[in-house]
Amino acid sequence: MLRYAGSVLPIRPKSGLFGLHLTTSKNIVEMVEEREATPLERDRILREDSVGRVDRRREGGELQLITYRFRNFRLIRYLVNWGRMASLFPVHLTTACCSVEFAATHSSRYDPERFGWLPATGSLRQSDVVVVEGTVTSKMAQRVRLIYDQMPDPKWVIAMGACAISGGLYAKDSYNVIQGIDDIVPVDVYVPGCPPRPETLFEGILLLREKILYGRAL
């Protein structure tokens, strides 16, 4: 029932391009293109539904339609999103030095668990949100994408630190650093800093909660 409930658009547009040297990796390119709608499919959806309802899928027939309408009642949607917002399982994925601040955010001084941000001790397949902590090299990019693909569907990404946002210190003249992880995964919240203070990451977590609950940051 909750299969399509999370994402506003099941067909997410790919934002950005790969680094040049990544296009030679066939697996990665295939993995990304898998999530894009083909032009044919897009045209079919546009024809059968309307422009404003591209996100609606009618493959499941009447039952699907009923559940779709049911969970789109404003109260139901609010309650579902409230539940999601209040129990976020992050993935423990450490790529660089921002993980120190990530660990400090989890300490008892800041205690994000009171806002439903649970300890990062679960399986990938039970997780909701991945915090990409810092620099992502082209070798690590494959693993980040694999991890993202293994997570079940309502899922969110926080890009933490300047390197994850835009390459940071390694922008423009590095042979192996991804210039911003929005090349490989869709990002919901950008947390700036080098590295961000725990307060900054905390602000990002609160923004993500708002985004989950209302569909946008207030």
Q: Closest separation between CB of residue 181 and another protein, Å?
A: 13
Q: For residue 188, which of 5, 8, 4 has the smallest C-alpha distance?
A: 8
Nearer to another protein among residue 132 and residue 205 (C-beta): 132
Per-residue string for binding with another protein, 104-143, x by CB under 8 A?
Answer: ----------------------------------xx----
Per-residue string for binding with another protein, 31-70, x by CB under 8 A?
Answer: ----------------------------------------
Give the binding range for another protein (CB under 8 A) out of 45-53, 88-96, 157-165, 170-178.
170-178
Q: Closest separation between CB of residue 24 and another protein, Å?
A: 5
Query: How many Å apart are CA 78 and CA 156, to the nearest integer?
Result: 18
Out of 90, 134, 161, 167, the only residue in the binding site for another protein (CB under 8 A) is: 167
Site size toward another protein (CB under 8 A) is 16
30 binds another protein (CB under 8 A): no
- Do residues 38 and 14 make contact, with C-beta atoms less than 8 angstroms apart? no
> Binding to another protein (CB under 8 A): which residues in 179-198?
179-180
Q: Closest separation between CB of residue 192 and another protein, Å?
A: 18
Query: How many Å apart are CA 213 and CA 176, to the nearest integer?
Result: 37
Residue 129's H or E segment, with its range, is strand 129-133
Q: How many CB atoms lie within 10 A of CB 88?
A: 19
- Do residues 150 and 124 make contact, with C-beta atoms less than 8 angstroms apart? yes
> Binding to another protein (CB under 8 A): which residues in 8-27?
19-21, 24-25
Please calculate the CA angle 117-145-198 and round it to the nearest 5 degrees.
Answer: 30
- Do residues 196 and 160 make contact, with C-beta atoms less than 8 angstroms apart? yes
Please calculate the CA angle 100-127-156 and round it to the nearest 5 degrees.
Answer: 80
Q: Can you give the binding site for another protein, defined by CB under 8 A?
A: 19-21, 24-25, 138-139, 167, 171-176, 179-180
